[in-house]
Structure 1
């Protein structure tokens, strides 16, 4: 496995996950990336279906806060077992399907497909540029039903406005291999999504691209 993939996911220890919501979704989104978490959450609530797959689950924040109580089926995909364990426990009343997978490889879930798939704050952690990361979209397309929606968000590192602290922290994250987004920009994301999906929509808020696309 690519060592950068390992580095990107290994940072999410139980200790880091315990402060993730405060540091990333609270402080960083508001003051560094300039995209309040509730904006991503509202998009999640709008596009999530009753047959949903969440990829790169983190702490399960969006699932816990915005997933309808009437959801019929929910599944989790992540390479980090700490994230999978924490999130599956948080939504255990929904009996989530749990898959430990590398999104850069074929998922081989061997299950029914999904009507919606969310992928929040994962792309900027994957190694390579967006043309290389787009293999993830190919793999996700395979698990989405016709007419289903892929949606999510990612922090861009190129051709976006950043304050001084955001620049320094992003550089530090990239140096450590936590982020790999120096060359990630709007144009590259648009091309990558359109290669595999239609009706692509992308909104830039601060450093963050919020996107959605349909499988046809």
Structure 2
């Protein structure tokens, strides 16, 4: 499936060359030393924990690391759909997941998540994951998360859940501050004013059950159920 949306700078950087270095730069170096939130100890277990029983949608696939590392969790998932604005990322992640042993069909959708999803996805998923998506999107968190959740919740079942992680905007260490300056200046990030409180407020607007947002280092981890 493809809707051929315009590509924002935050998605345009995900070319084949960049994706080959993504795991080291983002998941190993930046998560450990800049954002102070371990990929192995925090983010990967969190990703695995909430995968839905039958149908799951992963939004903002990156290099496909989490998908591939969690491949056993998808063994019984009948429908797995990958969504991203960057076609290279979708193909890279799909191939990586298949190499990791995923045997079932994988759908890919090139899509701008600020816009409505295809009607064929209405009420389809038990779970949807958004890892490191919001801090890449343009605009204030209260506005961009509101627009995204308004679209994503249409794809969830009545008791479905959404979960994910995003980098918050303030009080970073020396390495984090410099990366924040570089990424925000280039348009790769847009998160200087993103806060835990802002995220919680938007979640409660769109979902009946919202877990307390957990902050590890400078990363907010969220889980919400039952779209309103």
Q: TM-score, normalised by structure 1?
A: 0.93
Q: Return the match for 1:149 from 156, 161, 165.
A: 161
Cα distance in 2 for partners of 1:94, 1:82 equals 21
Aligned structure 1 segments of 4 or more residues deviating by more than 4 angstroms: none
Quick check: 1:87 aligned with 2:93? yes
Alignment correspondent of 1:64: 68
Q: Does 1:122 align with 2:124?
A: no
The structural deviation recorded for 1:45 is: 1.2
Cα-to-partner distance string for 1:139-162 (whole Å, 9 max, x where unaligned) = 00000001111000000103xx42
Residue of structure 2 in register with 1:47 after alignment:
50
Whole-Å separation in 2 of the counterparts to 1:43 and 1:6: 28
Give 1:73 shift: 1.7
Between the aligned partners of 2:26 and 2:119, the Cα distance in structure 1 is: 29
* Counterparts in 2 of 1:97 and 1:109: CA distance versus 1, 3 Å: farther
**Can you give the 5+ residue segments of structure 2 that lack an aligned partner in the other structure?**
none
Which of 103, 106, 126 is 2:116 aligned to?
A: 106
Q: How far apart are the structure 2 equivalents of 1:175 and 1:91? A: 33
Is the Cα contact below 8 Å between 1:77 and 1:99 reproduced in 2?
Answer: yes
Alpha-carbon displacement from aligned partner over 1:172-196 (angstroms, at most 9, x marks no partner): 1000000000110011111111110
Instruction: Give the corresponding residue for 2:223.
Output: 212
C-alpha RMSD over aligned residues:
1.7
- How far the C-alpha of 1:91 sits from its partner, in A, is 2.4
1:136 to 139, 148, 151: 148
Whether the 8 Å CA contact 2:63–2:89 is kept in 1: the answer is: yes
Question: Alpha-carbon deviation of 1:109?
Answer: 5.1
Structure 1 residues 2 and 98, CA gap change in structure 2 (3 angstroms): closer
The answer to whether the Cα contact below 8 Å between 1:99 and 1:109 also exists between their aligned partners in 2 is no
CA distance in 2, matches of 1:165, 1:90: 30
Residue equivalent to 2:195: 185
